[in-house]
Amino acid sequence: MADVLVVGSVALDSVATPFGKVREVLGGSATYFSYAASFFTTVRLVATVGDDFPDEHLVLLKERGVDMTGLQMSRGRTFRWVGEYGYDLNEARTLDTQLNVFADFKPVLPSPLKKTPFLFLANIAPELQLDVLRQMERPHLVALDTMNFWIQGKREALLRVLAEVDALLINDGEARQLAQEPNLIKAARSILKFGPRTVVVKRGEYGAVMVSDDHFFFVPAYPLESVFDPTGAGDTFAGGFMGYLASQGVVDQATIRRAIVYGSVMASFTVEDFSLRRLTRLTTAEVERRYAAFQELVRFDI
Ligand code: AMP
């Protein structure tokens, strides 16, 4: 079993969906990632929060065994994101992004963290992703996530870091935007030319597709009847994906396929409630039951 290091946002989110709304709840790409991955392996978190960040959120992550030595407490306000969803829950509309303490965050990795074998560059400024990657000592696997905010605003820096990663996890709209290509499969193929050997495209309620030079794989999403808030689904997917791969220590086609299913399993829980609420009630037994349900879901030769 290997450890995973993640750099990304730790946030206070305000979210409205057709089913309710919440203000300044725990969110952030690195938060969802860490919590989900902690079901599979030990996670080390690199991020920053302001002096307004509630202690109880830190306790939540510590209780999951997340190594917080890479979390910097800075003077100022924590990163904030405000978003909303319409009845089509697949697309978040960002109403406000306040980088706050992330605007001048300079991560300095404590030495033991530099040797972590699995690295996840979660959604955050690409310069920060590159800065962390450069401090690492030859990780075994590096994966990256990003979003429209950075594809539009920091394309050059994003392409620089993309050239150095093994896998990209990205949602469908953003894959089209990054590749400037409307067809999703063509978009994924052209992203391979930017550097990553594997591209995993997350398609919300339509599942996920994996494309590499020699392989193609698809999983549906778990058919849920009550989707409450999709925020964090992508990061939770990534946490399940990387957490499982790290727990196996081996990255081959078989483990990648199972990791995509574990990613889908974890994401299917996150969307059942606001913030990390569903994840905090989740048990390993439930994870395994839903994994088995996925196996049943895609078996057609009976
Ligand atoms: P997702 O998994 O794509 O739904 O990610 C949702 C999380 O991403 C929220 O908890 C936000 O706090 C965080 N987020 C939103 N915009 C950004 C951004 N520009 N950079 C980093 N994190 C963000």
pLDDT digits (tens, 9 = 90+) for 238-287: 999 999 999 998 999 999 999 999 999 999 999 999 999 999 999 999 99
Mean pLDDT of the chain: 96
Q: Which atom of ligand 1 sits closest to the CA of residue 231?
A: 4
| 11 Cβ inside 6 Å of ligand 1 | yes
Residues 6+ apart with CB under 8 A from 235: 8, 28, 29, 30, 31, 32, 33, 36, 122, 123, 145
- Residue 44 is predicted with a pLDDT of 98
Could you identify the residue written with the tokens 């990613």? 263
Mean pLDDT of 97-116: 95
Our measurement of the distance from residue 197's CA atom to the centroid of its chain's CA atoms, rounded to an integer in Å, reads 18
Six token digits for residue 241: 């994906």
Element (H, E) at 20: strand 20-27
Q: Would you place residue 168 in the very low, low, confident or very high pLDDT band (cuts 50, 70, 90)?
A: very high
What span, in angstroms and rounded, lies between the C-alpha atoms of 105 and 9?
Answer: 11
Mean pLDDT of 125-147: 97
Six token digits for residue 205: 């309620």
Choosing from 81, 89, 96, 145 the residue with most ligand 1 atoms within 8 A of its CB, the one to mutate for a pocket test is 81
Mean pLDDT of 80-87: 95
- Residue 302 is predicted with a pLDDT of 87
- Residue 297 is predicted with a pLDDT of 93
> Does 164 score more than 90 pLDDT?
yes
Choosing from 10, 90, 127, 147 the residue with most ligand 1 atoms within 8 A of its CB, the one to mutate for a pocket test is 147
> Does 226 score more than 90 pLDDT?
no
Residues 6+ apart with CB under 8 A from 132: 5, 7, 46, 107, 109, 119, 121
Residue type, position 1, single letter = M
Mean pLDDT of 26-36: 98
What span, in angstroms and rounded, lies between the C-alpha atoms of 208 and 264?
Answer: 8
Residue type, position 2, single letter = A
Q: Would you place residue 88 in the very low, low, confident or very high pLDDT band (cuts 50, 70, 90)?
A: confident
- Residue 249 is predicted with a pLDDT of 87
Could you identify the residue written with the tokens 């955050």? 124
Mean pLDDT of 160-178: 97
| 29 Cβ inside 6 Å of ligand 1 | yes
Q: Would you place residue 219 in the very low, low, confident or very high pLDDT band (cuts 50, 70, 90)?
A: very high
Q: Which is higher by pLDDT, 92 or 79?
A: 79
- Å from CA of 214 to ligand 1 middle: 31
Residue type, position 106, single letter = K
- Residue 91 is predicted with a pLDDT of 83
- Å from CA of 183 to ligand 1 middle: 25
Our measurement of the distance from residue 100's CA atom to the centroid of its chain's CA atoms, rounded to an integer in Å, reads 21
| 27 Cβ inside 6 Å of ligand 1 | yes
Q: Would you place residue 1 in the very low, low, confident or very high pLDDT band (cuts 50, 70, 90)?
A: confident
Kindly state the DSSP code that residue 68 receives in the 8-state scheme. Answer: E
Give the relative orientation of helices 233-248 and 29-37 as an angle to the nearest 10 degrees.
40
Q: What is the percent of the chain where pLDDT is above 90?
A: 96
- pTM exceeding 0.85: yes
Mean pLDDT of 150-161: 97
